Every structure is written in structure tokens, then in C-alpha cells.
């Protein structure tokens, strides 16, 4: 398989998985962007708003609106950064727990469906290969 075809295939699989994830969230009160933000904040409570925008690859103003929406739903709260009065740190509230479980369930359903035709060994090898690729790309940054 040529590098172009592999790149296209990887991009297409990513697109399809994203679409399936969005379908799993249908009927939920959260969007894909909100789900991504909640998952990241869950992994790193107290993340700076600017850093979160960078990790989610969105503009700071876009993230500000996203955080506003999550605050209105009482899922996150902004707290002043004690080391920088201009910055805010983002924390989950206790109300976020049910949404995080819903996000996890949706993600698990997508993965189970996507890997459903693979043997356990193939699925494990695929996950291992993805981890290697991810680490390689992270080390080049």
C-alpha cells in the first residue's frame, strides 16, 4: 500500500469513527466538542484555558464559548489561576460524572463496532501499532 493510500485510509477511518461517535451522542445534551473538552479536563483537572484550547486545536475565543456552554450546564467551573491573575483553570463539577460515563459508553460502542471483525490478537496488535505511531509522532514535535 502506498503512503498516500495509507494516509487516506487512516484519515477516512478517523472521519468514520468521529461520525459514529457523534451518532452515539445523538439525544445527548452534549456535542462532540464538549465531549472532547470534558474528557481532557477529566484527565487534567485544573488545566489552563489556553492550554486546553491548544490541546483541542481550537482558537481561545472558540474555547471560551465552549467553556461558557459547559458552565451553563454546570459541568465545569473556571477558577482564577493563583499564579497568573489573567488566566483561568478549568475544573469538572460533580455534575460532569454522568456525562463522562455517557461519553465513555459511546466511545466503547464505537470501538467495539469498529474492531468487531478483528480477532482479539488482531485488535491488540492494532492498538499496539497505534500506540507506537502516536509515540513516534509525539517525539517529532
* Whole-number pLDDT of residue 29: 87
Distance CA 76, CA 5 (A): 41
Query: Do 56 and 35 meet the contact criterion of CB atoms below 8 Å apart?
Result: no
pTM: 0.85
Domains of the chain, first to last: 3-140 (1.10.10.10)
pLDDT over 80 (residue 1): no
Query: Do 48 and 40 meet the contact criterion of CB atoms below 8 Å apart?
Result: no
Over the stretch 55-106, which tens digit does the pLDDT of each residue have? 999 999 999 999 999 999 999 999 999 999 889 999 999 999 999 999 999 9
Q: Tell me whether strands 76-81 and 47-48 are parallel, antiparallel or unpaired.
A: unpaired
Amino acid at each position: 500500500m502506498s503512503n498516500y493510500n495509507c494516509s487516506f485510509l487512516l484519515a477516512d477511518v478517523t472521519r468514520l469513527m468521529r461520525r459514529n461517535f457523534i451518532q452515539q451522542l445523538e439525544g445527548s445534551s452534549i456535542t462532540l466538542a464538549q465531549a472532547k473538552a470534558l474528557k481532557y479536563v477529566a484527565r487534567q483537572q485544573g488545566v489552563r484555558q489556553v492550554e486546553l484550547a491548544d490541546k483541542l486545536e481550537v482558537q481561545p475565543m472558540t474555547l471560551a464559548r465552549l467553556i461558557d456552554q459547559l458552565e451553563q450546564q454546570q459541568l465545569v467551573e473556571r477558577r482564577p489561576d493563583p499564579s497568573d491573575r489573567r488566566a483561568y483553570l478549568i475544573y469538572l463539577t460533580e455534575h460532569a460524572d454522568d456525562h463522562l460515563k455517557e461519553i465513555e459508553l459511546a466511545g466503547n460502542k464505537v470501538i467495539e463496532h469498529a474492531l468487531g471483525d478483528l480477532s482479539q490478537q488482531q485488535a491488540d496488535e492494532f492498538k499496539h501499532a497505534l500506540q507506537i505511531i502516536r509515540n513516534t509522532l509525539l517525539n517529532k514535535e
